[in-house]
Amino acid sequence: MSASVYTTSAKVVILGAAGQVGHALTELLEQAPGIEPVPLNRRQLDITDASAIQDQLSRHLPDYVVNCAGFNRVDAAERQPDRSMAVNRDGVGQLAQACAALSIPLLQLSSDYVFDGHYASGYSEDDEASPLGVFGRSKWEGEEAIRRALTQHLILRVSWIFSARGDNYLLRMLERARHEAVIEAADDRRGCPTSADDVARVILAILRQLTCGINVWGTYHYCGAEITTRYGFCEALLAAARQYEELKVQQLKPVAAANLNALAQRPASSVLKCRKLLATFGIRQRPWRSELQRVVREIYGEH
C-alpha cells in the first residue's frame, strides 16, 4: 500500500461517545489508520445546547460528525415526551444546522421504530414512516430536521442494538435470568438484532468511502443478518451464557408482546432491508449469532 494513502487524516467528532455505539465506534476509530476520532460524551457536549454545539464544532472543525447521542428509552419517552423531542428532534435539528453552517457532513443514527411494523417482509428506505410512539416519532422528526437543514447527511437506521455495556435488552434479560426462575419474551415481535461493534464497523466502512469524495448522501438501513423474535434472541442468549454460568432461570416462556404491559407500543415487525447499503457501499450484513457469542464472551471476561 502506498504511503500517501494515510498522509491526510479525517477528523471525526463522535457524539454520545459513552453510549453503546459511541463507545464501540471510538474504540474502532482509535485503531483505524487515517482517522482521528474526537469522542465527546454528554458532559462534554449536550446536543440540546445549541451554542455548545457551535463552540465544539468550531473548535475541532472535523471532517465528519457522527451522532450516536440520543434519548433511547422507549417507555420513558412516553412519560417524558418533551425530553425525547428535545434530544432526538430539536437537538439533532440544531446539530444539523450547525453542521450546515460549517459545511460538515453529518452521519446520524436512526431507528427501525420510525415504522409501524405492519410489513412482515421488512422495510426499505423509501417505505413510509409511521411511528407508533413518542420515541419513534422523535427519531423520525429528527431525521426530517436533518433533511431540511443539510444536504450532506447520511442517516443510518439500525435495530435492536446489543453490547456488553450500557442499557440494552441483552443485559436486562441476562440479569433477570440470573435471578428469576421463569422469564418471558415476546414471540410475536420480529426484528434483527445488531451488535454495537457491528454498527461501528459499518460506520467506519461508510466513512472510508465518504473520504473518497463520492456523493452518496441519503438514508440507509443496516441490521444483523437473520430475522428472529425477542424470544429467539433470548433463547440464543441463554444458551450462550450457560457455557459460562449456571443461571437461575428454568423456563423461558414465549408470550405475546401485548401481555408484557410495556408502556410504549412497539412495531410487531421491524425488519430492515439492507440492500441499498450493499449496493452503494458493498457492506454486507454480519450474522448476529456470531456477534452474540462474542459479546457473551466479553461479558464473562474472555476476549
Ligand X SMILES: NC(=O)c1ccc[n+]([C@@H]2O[C@H](COP(=O)([O-])OP(=O)(O)OC[C@H]3O[C@@H](n4cnc5c(N)ncnc54)[C@H](OP(=O)(O)O)[C@@H]3O)[C@@H](O)[C@H]2O)c1
> Do 12 and 207 touch, CB atoms closer than 8 A?
yes
| Binding of ligand X by 91 (CB under 6 A) | yes
Q: Is 173 in the site for ligand X (CB under 6 A)?
A: no
Q: Give the footprint of ligand X on residues 128-147 (CB under 6 A).
A: 139
Q: Which of 43, 127, 140, 162 is nearest to 88 (CA)?
A: 140
Residue count, binding to ligand X (CB under 6 A): 29
158 binds ligand X (CB under 6 A): yes
Residues 240-299 that bind ligand X (CB under 6 A): none
Q: How far is the CB of 126 from ligand X (least distance, A)?
A: 19
Pick the stretch among 13-21, 57-65, 232-240, 283-291 that binds ligand X (CB under 6 A).
13-21
Residue whose cell numbers read 453529518? 106
CB atoms within 10 A of CB 46: 15
Q: Which is nearer to ligand X, 10 or 18 (CB)?
A: 18
Nearer to ligand X, 76 or 216 (CB): 76
Q: What is the DSSP string of 188-238?
A: S-EE--EEHHHHHHHHHHHHHHHTTT----EEEE---BS-EEHHHHHHHHH
Which stretch of DSSP H or E encloses residue 38? strand 35-40
Q: Which of these ranges, 12-20, 120-128, 202-210, 283-291, lies near ligand X under the rule CB under 6 A?
A: 12-20
Window of 15-23, 117-125, 143-151, 183-191 that interacts with ligand X by CB under 6 A: 15-23
233 or 281: CB nearest ligand X: 233
CB of 108 to ligand X, least distance (A): 7
CB closer to ligand X, 97 vs 159: 159
Nearer to ligand X, 71 or 140 (CB): 71
* Distances from the Cα of 211 to the Cα of 208, 229, 261, angstroms: 5, 37, 46
Instruction: Tell me the C-alpha distance between 147 and 143, whole Å.
Output: 6
Question: Which one, of 104, 200, 92, 102, lies nearest residue 148 by Cα?
Answer: 92
Min CB(8)–ligand X separation in Å? 28
Q: Is 12 in the site for ligand X (CB under 6 A)?
A: no
Question: Could you say which residues in the range 61-90 bind ligand X, by CB under 6 A?
Answer: 68-72, 87
Helix (H) / strand (E) containing 155: strand 153-158
Nearer to ligand X, 21 or 134 (CB): 21
Helices (H) and strands (E) in the chain, counts: 11, 12
- In the complex, least distance from residue 17 CB atom to ligand X, rounded to whole angstroms: 7
* Cα distances (angstroms) measured from residue 289 to each of 22, 30, 131, 186, 236: 22, 26, 28, 18, 8
Interface positions with ligand X (CB under 6 A):
15-16, 18-22, 42, 46-48, 68-72, 87, 91, 109, 111-112, 139, 158-161, 166, 168, 196
